[in-house]
Amino acid sequence: MSVPLTAAPARSGGNAFIRAVHAISTLCGWIAAGFTVAALLVTCHMIFVRAVLKQSTIWQTEAVIYLMIAATTIGLPYVQRLRGHVNVDLLPHALPIGARRVLALVTLAATIAVTAVIAWYSYDVWHQAFQRNWKSSTVWAPPLWIPYLALPLGFVLFLLQLLADLIGLITGAEPPFGIKDT
Amino acid sequence: MDPLLLGLLVALATIVVLFSGVSVAVGLLIVAAGFLLAFDGPRSLEMLPEIFFADLNSFTILSIPMFIIMGAAIASTRAGADLFEALERWLTRVPGGLVVSNLGACALFAAMSGSSPATCAAIGKMGIPEMQKRGYPDGVAAGAIAAGGTLGILIPPSVTMIVYGIATETSIGRLFLAGIVPGILLMLLFMAWAIYATWASGNTAVLSPRHYSIRERFEILPRVVPFLLVIAGVLYAMYGGVATTSETAAVGAVLCLGMAVVIYRLWRPGAIWGVLRDSTRESVMILFIMAAAGVFSYMMSSLFITQSVAQWIAALDVNRWVLMAVINVFLLVAGFFLPPVAVILMTAPILLPILQAAQFDPYWFAVILTINMEVGLITPPVGLNLFVINSISPDIKLKTILWGSAPFVACMFLAIVILCFVPGLATWLPDLVMGPA
């Protein structure tokens, strides 16, 4: 499983907004990779504490889970920028360029709509967790607004990258669906 | 509206949305949000973020990025070529030793990397030109590597099996064990066909052995043995009860990264970032599909579609093997277009109750399902392995790769049939190691 081989990473075409968003999305990729490595190290630490020091572990399992959730949502814009979200591109390939453009606009608009909805309600969940000071029901009991923050943050950044893609598509900075062989 | 009719509408909408070229994860979210909005009211959308969060809120999930890092670390080195060379030097007396070593190397590399395209690329880069040079038909060379690469999702550790385990709440350790014997069976079938096809091409001279000195045989071992030790270590940690799947995966990832740095001198920050970047891309993509599929299956069950479809199929009272055949055809078609992870996540919630009602073993079915998904990796239109082979061996025409792969697809069907008659091939090893399910 991987990216479709015909699609290239999104290009900026000299547009300052797109370039800025691409830089942010790349930073998100670094952060997501950093969270993944952190999850890796915390897991190793947990095994050490349990197996070698023979002590019980309190926070590690939960921290690892939250790190991976954050890595996933914060990683969304970066993977979008690389066109790494796998899709079925048979129809786009089969269509003439004009129709392909229209289809790309429609799918991108739908993607933006659903992402915006999730981003909006994610903020809602985060806000409630923050205001009511929800805590995780474990021994460690961290405040839940911290892990929940990954949702609105990740989806808003994803939305930003999608908007840059939309501008790229409208201005012709990049071909629809990233398909070069027209 | 009748849930069955609604189910049909969801199926149609999903096909339309996924074929529009939108990414699979977003497509699932669009369909889920659309149907919830239309049939359950706008308030149901409030639940989406929490369901998304809950689907990722599990320690088991960690095993996916960790095994991906493990595979990416190995794939970034020359380990595939070394493995292939070692097997070639040691198996040279076996008839058709070269193609046999290639397939064996695929199986072993698959065991370390858990990824089909990575296996194809790692072994094929060295294996295909070598086979061509010694006069193996292009179709056999390309087909063997394309097919050998598919073993990546069957032989443990396999991301596909982890995803199945999470989606069906079955034991991942047991699933891994279930994949081993069928993986070896499939590898033997592939070897048998490759040797036969080479022999039938009339060029029997290529099947004769090539001589390697004792020194040549031993000097390659230090580069390969550490990786085999990691596999052994990972298996010991998992089945010796030392650590959970996720912990084992994390240790495996650290060990493989460490070995890539020590043995293959992968210490440039750029190279390490390359491994992390590739694995982040792959794991974010898979975890996004997982969470989106979770939202999708929440929509299906809150609109009573899952339950109604399962009841409806149970009420049809068809022969269980007819049912199995229909399910397989359905999965095969889905696998032609969608990546295995997406197919498993979308169908598991519906299929599992049906399979349980028809008294099929979920571990046995996991193997059948995985072999079925392997077919999709070497068949058009989106057979990823075909395109990997095409990009590493541009001199072999895509048509030759396709026709060379076709008999290996037949081997996979044969393996499915054999497993239907002898289910013990999948269930024997897990029962032996972990006791009856």
Interface size, chain A vs chain B, as Cβ–Cβ contacts under 8 Å: 180
Least confident of A8-12, A16-20, B208-212: A8-12
Does some domain include residue A8? no
Estimate the crossing angle of helix B424-434 against helix B398-421, to 10 degrees. 70
On whether any CB of chain B is under 8 Å from the CB of A97, the answer is no
Chain B residues with beta carbon closer than 8 angstroms to that of A27? none
Q: Alpha carbon of A11 to those of A6, A15, A85, A178, B169: distances in Å?
A: 14, 9, 16, 9, 41
The ipTM, to two decimals, is 0.93
> Do the Cβ atoms of B250 and A104 come within 8 Å?
no
Q: Which residue of A has its CA nearest to B48?
A: A118
In chain B, which residue's Cα lies nearest the Cα of A66?
B57
* Cross-chain CB nearest to A110 (options B22, B116, B382): B22
The minimal CB distance from A33 to the residues B18, B50, B280 is found for B280
Of A33, A43, A85, the CB nearest to B246: A43
CB of B28 closer than 8 Å to CB of B295: yes
Predicted pLDDT at A1: 37
**Whether the Cβ atoms of residue B187 and residue B151 lie closer than 8 Å to each other:** yes
Asked if B38 is an interface residue toward chain A (Cβ–Cβ < 8 A), one would say no
Task: Say yes or no to pLDDT of A4 above 70.
Answer: no
Higher pLDDT, B243 or A37: A37
What's the pLDDT band for A8 if we cut at 50, 70, 90? low
DSSP assignments along B375-406, one per residue: HHHTSTTT-HHHHHHHHH-TTS-HHHHHHHHH
Residue A39 has pLDDT above 80, yes or no: yes
User: For residue A165, what are the domain limits?
Assistant: 16-178
Say which range, A5-14, A47-56, A171-180, B373-382, has the weakest mean pLDDT.
Answer: A5-14
Do the Cβ atoms of B422 and B363 come closer than 8 Å? no
- Confidence category of residue A7, pLDDT binned at 50, 70, 90: low
Which pTM was predicted? 0.90
Q: What is the three-class DSSP state of A135?
A: strand
Residue A3 lies in a domain: no
What are A93-130's pLDDT values in tens digits? 899 999 999 999 999 999 999 999 999 999 999 999 99
Q: Is B282 on the interface with A (CB under 8 A)?
A: yes
Q: Is it the case that residue A11 has pLDDT exceeding 90?
A: no
CB A148 within 8 A of CB A178: no
Question: Least CA distance to A109: which residue of chain B?
Answer: B22
What is residue B233's predicted lDDT score, i.e. its pLDDT?
Answer: 82
* Cβ distance of B61 and A65 shorter than 8 Å: yes
Q: Which residue of A has its CA nearest to B287?
A: A72
Domain assignment present for A11: no
- Mark yes or no for CB contact B18/A88 under 8 Å: yes
Q: What is the pLDDT of residues A51-65, one digit of tens each?
A: 889 888 889 999 999
Domain ranges of chain B: 59-434
Residue-level pLDDT at A6: 44
Within a domain: residue A81? Answer: yes
B435 touches chain A (CB under 8 A): no
pLDDT tens, residue order, chain B (437 aa): 788 899 999 999 999 999 999 999 999 999 999 999 999 999 999 999 999 999 999 999 999 999 899 888 888 888 888 888 888 888 887 878 888 999 999 988 887 777 788 889 889 988 899 888 888 899 999 999 999 999 988 988 888 999 999 999 899 989 999 999 999 999 999 999 999 998 888 777 777 777 888 888 888 888 888 878 887 888 777 777 777 889 989 988 998 888 888 888 878 888 888 899 889 998 999 999 999 999 998 999 899 998 888 888 878 888 889 999 999 999 998 888 888 888 999 888 888 888 888 889 999 999 999 999 999 889 887 788 888 898 888 899 888 999 999 999 999 999 999 999 999 999 999 999 888 87
Note the residue count of chain A. 182
Which B-chain residues 325-384 have CB contacts (< 8 A) with chain A? 337-342, 381-382, 384
Q: For residues B115 and B159, is the Cβ–Cβ distance under 8 A?
A: yes
Whose tokens are 């189910």? That residue is B7
**CB neighbour list of residue A20: distance below 8 Å, 6 or more residues apart:** none
Contacts of A97 in chain B (CB under 8 A): none
Q: How many residues are given for chain B? A: 437
Rounded to a whole number, what is the distance in Å from the CA of A33 to chain B's nearest CA? 6
Flag whether A25 is in a domain.
yes
Confidence of residue A5 (pLDDT cuts 50, 70, 90): very low
> How close, in Å, is residue A170 to chain B by CA atoms?
17
Do B183 and B151 contact (CB within 8 A), yes or no? yes
Could A36 and B280 be called an inter-chain contact, meaning their C-beta atoms sit closer than 8 Å?
A: yes
Give SS3 for A8.
coil
Query: Number of structural domains, chain A?
Result: 1
Q: Both tokens of residue B137?
A: 């038909």
pLDDT of residue A173: 86
Tokens 């229909």 correspond to B326
SS3 letters for B218-260?
HHCHHHHHHHHHHHHHHHHHHHCCCCCHHHHHHHHHHHHHHHH
A10 assigned to some structural domain: no
Residue A9 is assigned to a structural domain of this protein: no
Q: Distance between CA B103 and CA B12 in Å, rounded?
A: 40
